[in-house]
Amino acid sequence: MHIPSLAAKHGPGLAMLEASLRRDLERLEYPKRPWVLPRHTRDGQPILDVLIIGGGQSGLAAAFGLMREKVTRLLVVDDSPPGLAGPWKTFARMRTLRTPKHLTGPDHNIPNLSFQSWYEAQYGEEAWQSLGLIPKELWADYLNWYRQFLGIPVRSHARAGAISWRAEDSCFAIPVQPTDGNGPGETLLARKVVLATGIDGSGRWETPSLVARLPRELWAHTRDDIDFEALRGKRIGVLGAGASAFDNASVALEQGAAEVHLFYRRKSLPTVNAYRWAEFVGFLKHHGDLPDADRWRFIRRILEMGQLPPHDTYHRARAFPHFHLHAESPWLDVQAVEGTARVTTPHGTFTFDKLIVGSGTVTDLSLRPELAHLVADIALWKDRYTPPPAESNSDLARHPYLGPSFEFQEKVPGRAPYLGSVFNYTFGCLLSLGFGGASISGMKYSLPKLVSGITRQLYCEDKDAFFSSLMEYDVKEFEP
């Protein structure tokens, strides 16, 4: 694998790390020879082995994992500008990652490719020891270096459309449109497709209908590009008790909002983080090996416990005297009144200049444009498992019922066997396989499953051609 040098862009410490990492990759490059057989359409058009939709941490790490296994006819497409894939420099408004700094995953167990090595090469071991959590901008810079150093083929400003199966060529056709207005669109062909589209990759960011019906200038979702400077001196209402709701409340306060009121349904905020419980080998590696009933009860319990705002996130907002929390306060009604939003809760009515919605995501594959032509045949959990009435959960029931390598499965066996060549490496894998796509803490164990599943298919599908090559193999080791 050719690794270009980026030393000119960085200090000597990073140049030394790159040299060491280049040696690591050369020493670990066994077996070296290419093996995936090229495919072409009937009229000679080349077919990619793998197309990865999404160029954030999951898409990049999946691509490198495949490249290490000599799957080289691959491409990553992402609709963002270069360096801005993922949330870290756009709508992520926390100061640091929420996961521990010593996490691993994108590095594929190569120490010199880890974030720690990258950080220490530039700032030193002492700085690493004193670092609490990883600043989100530095994580984005690490991923950008990762992409460039490893030479991962990424096409930015490229939005993938609805995936279709082209039976006559045994491949998928994926229309791709530029998001920057430069050039025409095109249709890419690929044997395998990986969806690495993040937290909302199996649905969408959710906005309650009573908010969505308001004039758009009165509300924003935490996912949106928000002009916080324009909120100076304003009264802001925030819906949701998760980390992103608190993050956005904090930024509004820091930018001079007059008041911020945060509303949530629960009687009290969660103070126990189930995600910290889950950070052990058993769960991270083997959740997908449990029977359906056990997978359901574990994930249902994690969701039931709730996603709390981390300690630093909570106290960042609470440091402002004009920040107000409202427990047991769902929004019963929201009306636009003379350029403001009037919110009714069980405990009173409030008037705000702007609303910010932090109510998370909803799982629903029918909402994904990439899956418009496939969704009718994809098996969901509700097609495979019926929980006891006391454990019902409509959102979990809509999760895709994935195979052991994140592949979609057919709702009706035999109707759409090609679905097994589409891999859902998004947060929608949670119920089937635990922390995988869109979860840094699960990448150490989820990436090998994904990569192995793809290479397994590429080999097994061409087994007859490989056997023919074995029959024809006649390279002599010596002359008797």
Looking at residues 403-430, what average pLDDT do you find? 97
Question: Do 74 and 165 fall within a single domain?
Answer: yes
Question: Which tens digits make up the pLDDT trace of 406-419?
Answer: 999 999 999 999 99
Q: Report pTM.
A: 0.95
- State the pLDDT confidence band at 12, using cuts at 50, 70 and 90: low
Question: Do 18 and 166 fall within a single domain?
Answer: yes
If you compute the radius of gyration of the chain from its CA atoms, what whole number of angstroms results?
24
Q: Note whether residue 471 is domain-resident.
A: no
Percentage of the chain modeled with pLDDT above 70: 98
Domain tally for the chain?
Answer: 2
Question: Do 109 and 245 fall within a single domain?
Answer: no
Give bridge partners of residue 171 from the DSSP assignment.
Answer: 166
CA 312 to chain centre: 23
d(CA 22, CA 353): 54
Looking at residues 206-219, what average pLDDT do you find? 97
Give the pLDDT score at 6: 44
Asked whether residue 165 carries a pLDDT value surpassing 50, the answer given is yes
> Phi/psi at 83 (nearest 5 deg)?
85, -5
- 318, 338, 359 — which closes off a domain? 359
Residue of higher predicted confidence among 360 and 61: 61
Question: Which tens digits make up the pLDDT trace of 271-328?
Answer: 898 988 999 999 999 999 999 999 999 999 999 998 888 889 999 999 999 999 999 9
Q: Are 88 and 140 in contact (CB under 8 A)?
A: yes
Percentage of the chain modeled with pLDDT above 90: 91
Question: Which tens digits make up the pLDDT trace of 241-275?
Answer: 999 999 999 999 999 999 999 999 999 998 898 98
Asked whether residue 397 carries a pLDDT value surpassing 80, the answer given is yes
Nearest to 445 by CA among 428, 461, 429: 429
Q: Note whether residue 300 is domain-resident.
A: no
Helix boundaries (H) for 213-255: 243-254
Question: Do 355 and 384 fall within a single domain?
Answer: no
Question: Do 198 and 212 fall within a single domain?
Answer: no
Looking at residues 451-473, what average pLDDT do you find? 98
d(CA 150, CA 121): 17
Asked whether residue 1 carries a pLDDT value surpassing 90, the answer given is no
The single-letter code of the amino acid at 100 is P
Q: Note whether residue 283 is domain-resident.
A: no
Q: Note whether residue 438 is domain-resident.
A: yes
Question: Do 96 and 82 fall within a single domain?
Answer: yes
Beta-carbon-side half-sphere exposure of residue 461 (alpha carbons within 13 Å): 20
Question: Do 11 and 89 fall within a single domain?
Answer: yes
Question: Do 116 and 49 fall within a single domain?
Answer: yes
Q: Are 298 and 360 in contact (CB under 8 A)?
A: no
Give bridge partners of residue 434 from the DSSP assignment.
Answer: none
What CATH number is given to the structural domain containing 354? 3.50.50.60
Question: Do 134 and 256 fall within a single domain?
Answer: no
Q: Rounded mean pLDDT of the chain?
A: 95
Per the listing, tokens 């803490």 go with 441
Range of the domain at 330: 207-271+308-359
Question: Do 238 and 105 fall within a single domain?
Answer: no
Q: Note whether residue 299 is domain-resident.
A: no
Question: Do 90 and 34 fall within a single domain?
Answer: yes
Torsion of CA 215, 220, 226, 228, to 10 degrees: 90
> Phi/psi at 324 (nearest 5 deg)?
-130, 130
- State the pLDDT confidence band at 182, using cuts at 50, 70 and 90: confident
Q: How many of the other CB atoms lie within 10 Å of CB of 22?
A: 17
Give the pLDDT score at 181: 87
